Structure formats: structure tokens, C-alpha cells
Copies of this chain bind each other. A is one copy, B any other.
Amino acid sequence: MARRFVCSKTEPIVKTKAGKVRGFIIDSTYTFHGIKYADAKRFQMPTEVEPWEGVKDALSYGYVCPMLTQDVPQGEIMVPHRHWPKDENCQYLNIWTQSISTDAKKPVMVWLHGGGFYAGSSIEQVAYDGENMSKYGDVVVVTLNHRLNILGYMDLSPFGEKYKNSANAGNADIVAALEWVRDNIAEFGGDPDNVTIFGQSGGGMKVWTLMQTPSADGLFHKGIIQSGLIDGFLHSPDNDGTKIVNAMLNELGFEEGDVEKLETVPYDLMAAAYIKLSPKLAREGAYIGCIPIQNDFYVGDPRTVGFTEHAKTIPILIGSVMCEFAFGPGIADKYNLSEDDIKKMIEEKYGEASNELSDLFKKAYPNKNLTDLLMLDSIFRYPTIDFIKKKSIHKEAPTYSYMFAYEFPYDDGKPSWHCSEIPFVFHNTDKVPVCNKPGVSDKLEDQMLGAWVNFARYGNPNLPALPNWPECEADDEATMVFDENCEVRHNYDHELVILHKNASPKFPFGDETILH
């Protein structure tokens, strides 16, 4: 059915600090694509955009940050993608809102995309579209691009004051976007005093690194971390870019220390040098960038250095999905396998821990097929449990826990994989066919969108359509298990996860497949 579309010379136009922008209205939703929120010279801190006269169109998504490697089209059923033109001049954000009245003061939800700190974009996944979340949740949704990989996270501080925070330039872009939100979002119907940052995978890591970033204090008020913890992922043995940067300069034919050359060399050449050199340096234990590092800007991992006073005041909703790594082929017809067949598969993977693991799995997931144990995640779940414990000690703000355990109608029943909860959170299962299960998926996306939005609005995800969901205590993790039937469980999988972690092969850091 035809929808209402408005985009005239006079409507909808919103005044930002730097100038006016025009978006469009689709049905009830005011939509703005590609608003520039900052400018930046390569490796340097972002600055405010120059003011302009007249009205700028915000009708096309902006450039996304260049990536180190060429995209490959695959896995589109599980995670449908949007590829987009790339340029390092990529500080753009997008807004979906139900009002452009400054009186509206609706909750603001700022999405931080995944892809580690080196890939992805605000529109990388089809599921990131903000229209449904804004419409069904009556919130202002903001999504944004920022600098990534060697453009956003490469320490050049030993080479000069202007590069002081180049190691965290990508996160600094996000802070600039949050400042833009503070200064402008009221004009888009949003409440600058009620901003929730939320993100998945690398986006979840951005949430907790920003909690520990003093310049972001007060720019956001709640955080949602989806599959955003991996032990060791943000750890670098040293934090000094001298080695990798000089190696790149050398590879590119420049003199050691002549970093200004890096400011103008084409990105592709710099990326090629980085890709060639970084694996060896990483093996030697050197810093190779592409992650934030501790400095004046970023205080460090809250699980090791402790939560900042500000971070303690941030209500957190945090969780992961049951089988983060279930990207490979599913197990054909798993519901018709014999118990013996399944036992054999499990023994092949887990050896002597198999029996105990199987028993613990059945206790944690009594309604699941035992074959899902073959894909079970502990790499995200283990540090998530740890984070919850450590955050829950601080009673300044609540911590809510979830697990996404939905089974998808794909490959004869595929357990939830990394990124698979995102279409439900954004109420976008209409755009991601694999989510669809008549009579089931509509209800689940209503519940999840509802919980996320209520958390953003009130700091509490409870809603009538879900069982009562208490906040966590340090010794009592109350976890909402999202599935065909949602229920709250207490410390329900801790034994399973600890044993699983110990019985599993060590996680290969840097494996592309998990860093979305």
C-alpha cells in the first residue's frame, strides 16, 4: 500500500547549529540521511563542520570509512549487507524520528555499528535501518559512521603533538557525534538529557570504551552492549605506534619518522603496507593499532582498571547470543539424528568433557537440540558474565542481562549466530527473510524492541509482554532468555560456560568471521 511521502522545498527542514538540513517524511517518520557531524584531517582530532547558508539535503547516506580489505559477497541470508561508497571523509550520521518539535523530548538511541574497530558502517547491515525502531518505539534513532582501522586507531603520538590521540581518533569521532547530538537533537524531537548508546560486537566494545572516556561523560546516559566482550581482544602488549608506523613508512619508501607523508599517501597504498607488515609485528607482540589504547582520552578496560565514577552511574543492558560462531553449514535434519549420532559428534569436538558438558547443556537449555552444543558460545558469554558481575557491584545504576537463544528456520534449524539478534532489536525482521517464523518472530521482535526502547526511555527494560526482569546482583545474574517463550533464569549457564570455555580450542584472535 502506498505510503505518505513528503519532501518539498519547505518540508521537512530542521535547523542545526551549522545550518539547515532537509530530510523526508515516510508515513509518520521524519528521516535524515547523511548529515555531516564533524570534519577531520587524517590522524587528527575531529572539528566542528563549517556553517553554511541555505538548506542542505540530507537525503543520501554519506560515505563510509575505507576498509583494509575488499568486501566479498557471501553469507547474505544470515547477515544481509549494504555496501556503500567509501571515503575517509566519513563523519556522517542518520536520524529517524517521529517529531521535529523541540518540545517532544523523546528518548534518543544512538547505534554504534560493529566490525571490530576496523570495519563496518552505519548502514553495513540491512537490519540497521532505523525507521521501524523509531516508529514502533517512538524514539529518535541515530546511526553514524566514523573513522576505522588505521585511519581511526593508529598511534602516531610519538611523532608529534598533532597526532596525540590518533590511536583513538575513531572513538573521538563518536564523541564528536555525541556532542552534535547534545547540541542539535532537540530540533529533531529528541531529549539531549536522555541518550542511550547501543551497539553490537565492535559496537558493544565502543559502548564500554566510551563509558571509560572522560570527554564523553554526560553525553550519554545509558548503554546497551550486545555481544560486545571478548577476552584479550582489546589488549595490546605495548601501546606505542613507533614500530608499526616506521615499518609502514619504510615499506612505502619514505624516511623513518617522516609521518607527514602518511597524511597524504593514498589510503589503498597505506592499507596494503599495513596488511603486509602487521601480522609479523603482531606475532612479535608489538602494537599494530586498530583498537583503542589507554591514554589521556581513554581510561582503559573497566574489568581491569575499574569503572570510572561516571561509568558506575550508567544503567546497562548487556548480553550475547547462544551460538555466536554458528556461521558454518548447519547440521542437516538434526531433529532426526539418533542420540548416539549426536553423542559421537559431541565427543569428537569436546573429548572427555563431553558427558558433563552435555548434562550442563541440557540443564541450561532443556528445550534445545543437543547438537546446538557443538556451536555454543563461551568466548563472548564468559567475559560478559564477568562484566555483569563487576558492574553489578556498583549500585549507582542497574545492570540487566539477556541471552538471545532463538532458533532460525534455516539449514534445518540453526541456532542464533553473531549479529542475528539485530533485526529483532530494530524490529526489522521484515527486511531479513531468515528471521521469519509465522506466529513466532513477530511476537519476539515486539518484545525485544519493546525492552530496548523501555530501557532507553526509563533505564528499565521491563514491559507487560515479558516476564518480570530483575536487575542483576553480583552473585545473582538474572538473565532474560529471548526465545519463542521468553523467561528469566538465574546464573543459569555459568557452570556450562566455564567448562565449555576450558574444553574448547583457544579463540583465534583476528579471525574475520567473528569481528562483525
Chain A residues in contact with chain B, CB under 8 A? 1-10, 24, 26, 33-34, 59-63, 70-77, 82-85, 330, 332-333, 409-412, 429-430, 433-442
Give min CB distance, A135 to chain B, whole Å: 14
Q: Is the interface of A mostly helix, strand, loop or mixed?
A: loop
Residue of B nearest to A77 (CB): B59
Q: In the assembly, what is the distance between CA of A63 and CA of B333, in Å?
A: 31
Residues in B neighbouring A3, C-beta threshold 8 A: 430, 433, 436, 438
A60-B74 in contact (CB<8A): yes
Q: In the assembly, what is the distance between CA of A8 and CA of B34, in Å?
A: 39
Q: In the assembly, what is the distance between CA of A9 and CA of B332, in Å?
A: 6
Give min CB distance, A164 to chain B, whole Å: 32
Residues in B neighbouring A5, C-beta threshold 8 A: 409-410, 433-437
Give min CB distance, A415 to chain B, whole Å: 15
Q: In the assembly, what is the distance between CA of A396 and CA of B101, in Å?
A: 64
Given contacts A8-B410, A9-B332, A71-B85, 19 further A-B contacts (CB under 8 A): A1-B442, A2-B429, A2-B441, A3-B438, A4-B438, A5-B410, A5-B434, A5-B435, A5-B437, A10-B333, A34-B73, A60-B73, A60-B74, A60-B77, A61-B76, A82-B83, A83-B83, A83-B84, A83-B85
30 A-B pairs within 8 Å (CB atoms) are namely A2-B429, A2-B435, A2-B437, A2-B440, A2-B441, A2-B442, A3-B430, A3-B433, A4-B438, A5-B409, A5-B434, A7-B409, A7-B410, A7-B411, A8-B332, A8-B412, A9-B332, A9-B333, A9-B412, A24-B77, A24-B434, A26-B433, A26-B436, A59-B77, A60-B75, A60-B76, A73-B84, A82-B82, A83-B83, A83-B84
B9-A411 in contact (CB<8A): yes
Partner of A73, one of B4, B63, B70: B63
Partner of A8, one of B7, B411, B439: B411
Q: In the assembly, what is the distance between CA of A442 and CA of B1, in Å?
A: 6
Residues in B neighbouring A85, C-beta threshold 8 A: 70-73, 83
Nearest 4 CB-CB pairings of A with B: A60-B76, A9-B332, A71-B85, A5-B436
B77-A73 in contact (CB<8A): no
Known contacts: A83-B84, A85-B70, A433-B24. The answer to whether A77 contacts B7 by CB under 8 A is yes
Residue of B nearest to A3 (CB): B436
Q: In the assembly, what is the distance between CA of A351 and CA of B380, in Å?
A: 71
Partner of A2, one of B34, B73, B436: B436
Q: In the assembly, what is the distance between CA of A84 and CA of B126, in Å?
A: 13
Q: In the assembly, what is the distance between CA of A60 and CA of B78, in Å?
A: 10
Q: Which of A6, A9, A76 has the most CB of B within 10 A?
A: A9
Q: In the assembly, what is the distance between CA of A4 and CA of B409, in Å?
A: 9
Q: In the assembly, what is the distance between CA of A429 and CA of B5, in Å?
A: 11
Q: In the assembly, what is the distance between CA of A2 and CA of B437, in Å?
A: 6
A76-B59 in contact (CB<8A): yes
